[in-house]
Amino acid sequence: MSGKFSKILVGIFIISLLLVGCSKEDNDTNGTDFSPTVEITEPADGDTVSFPQIISANVSGDEIEKVVFIAGEDTIAVDSTTPYSTYWSFYQDTGYVVLKVFAIDGQGQMGADSITVFVPEQDYDFPLTYIAKSSHNVYLSWWHFDVLFFDRYDVYMSTDSSVDSTDELVATIQGRVGDTCAFIDNLLPEHDYMFIVYGYDVSGSLGVSNVLGVQTNSVPSAYPDDAEMISIPADTFTMGYSWSEGGGESEEYPAHPVRLNAYSIDKYEVTCARYKTFIDAGGYSNPEWWDSAGWMWKESNGITQPEQWNSPDFPCGDDYPNYPVVGVSWYEAMAFARFVGKDLPTEAQWEHAARGTLGVDENGDGYPEGYQFPWGNDFYADGTVHCNYLSGSQDTYDDGYEQSAPVGSYPDGASTFGAEDMSGNVEEWCKDWFENTYYWDNPFDNPTGPEDGTEKVTRGGSFILYSTPSLPGYFHRTTIRSSLGPSNRRYFIGFRLVKN
């Protein structure tokens, strides 16, 4: 937590002292009961502390909104759920320190308690702390030494009351001595963890951090998202290029049946207005919504919003609420999905929602082929434009937009399920890793793609791709597959979500 915010909270605390007092006795001054009341139960007043030190408090009152733990001028933690306790990981100075805990309820009333403890000289070579934490991860940071000092860092974790090099090794950083951060994921909510870092120089000499205790947060509720979704029943459909006329790229073969459970998919691509809720809620600074690869990519590149957000050259940002958000990496798309309690569609879900299950069974597998385009098999059906593409470049049509269009601008281009803009407008991230020959494995039951890879699937074509009279809509077909690395942020790529 920033020093500025810490000082603000300390200022609030001092004001609260004037209003309600800070000692145990002050909670009941002149026979008046204040709500809430606070009593620090651990450590005791006058104790000599050792780190990591548990600080616990009993708090009573109605509608407690937050409890703040402060050591000297440093805010240690802000808690909103019982039991009210936290780890005090370390303190750089030696001597007497005032510990303060104050609580505020829903009516703005405050209660507080304070004690004085003694901090002895600490026995460690460099300090370890955390920058952020969530219900399932913690972002650790330690002292940055000269480039010639340490050659490797090992991070160990324990769920016991102590930790050393015999416990679980959860991260190793070697050859990047300037990288003194580690993102530890896949933790359990509301659990206590101990961490320690061992640093080794080129000669093998050892330096050790302090022991850091961290209690993960409780699982938060998903942010409300009232975007319209389309319910799609469980079904089996043909995936891949399966029509007798024309042809597809090699990665679209072989066509194969796929069975999917029921799911719901966004009717429209995620708009700037929807994505803005993530930005405004601090989504880029909350590790709750990120996995380790995405968080470390974001932190190392200083990412705080989409690439084209509020750029004068692109219709993306505050002034374009109904346009699809673009310039988001796969990591950002997944973070937003977690934020609203949804997911990116698998490649199979995306294709199923786009091509449908109507049409003729041309390949004899017992399942209709669906459509090459969401609206049918003719890109120029009825002589009208059904999607946003690079019109006029190789044909005589005009889609009405130079770049992306507001979502839902082409209702005649909806799929048979009712999903719009699944061809053109912006290309869309899917959840799967991409593999050119994945279809040859004949994945049948709710496939989720290869276990790993270097690029993520994108689908649907976009406004930068043209159509020709000889190959009408070739790049906007429901079966065409594309891919990009998950950190790519392109002005023609957005996404939509599913709920399983």
pTM, entire model: 0.82
C-alpha distances out from residue 288 to 271, 354, 430, Å: 22, 31, 21
Report the DSSP beta bridge partners of residue 258.
237
Asked if residues 381 and 490 have their Cβ atoms less than 8 Å apart, the reply is no
3-state helix, strand, coil in the chain (%, to 5): 15, 30, 55
Considering the domain 128-215, what is its CATH architecture? Sandwich (2.60)
- Alpha-carbon distance of 421 to 408, in angstroms, equals 7
pLDDT value at residue 490: 98
Domain 128-215 in the same topology as domain 3-119 = yes
Omega within 30 of 0 (cis) for the link into 83: yes
Rounded Cα distance, 103 and 37, in Å: 8
Q: What is the structure's pLDDT at 4?
A: 40
Q: What is the pLDDT of residues 98-157, one digit of tens each?
A: 999 999 998 889 999 999 999 998 888 888 999 999 999 999 998 766 545 677 899 999
Between CA 494 and CA 65 the distance in angstroms is 37
Low-confidence ranges of the chain (pLDDT < 50): 1-31, 147
Token readout for 78 is: 């802000």
Helices (H), 96-182: none
Q: For residue 371, give the nearest of 363, 381, 360, 383 by alpha carbon.
A: 360
**Model pLDDT, residue 190:** 93
12 phi, psi to nearest 5 deg = -60, -40
Architecture of domain 229-499: Alpha-Beta Complex (3.90)
Domain ranges for the chain, please list them. Answer: 3-119, 128-215, 229-499
pLDDT score, position 22: 39
Architecture of domain 3-119: Sandwich (2.60)
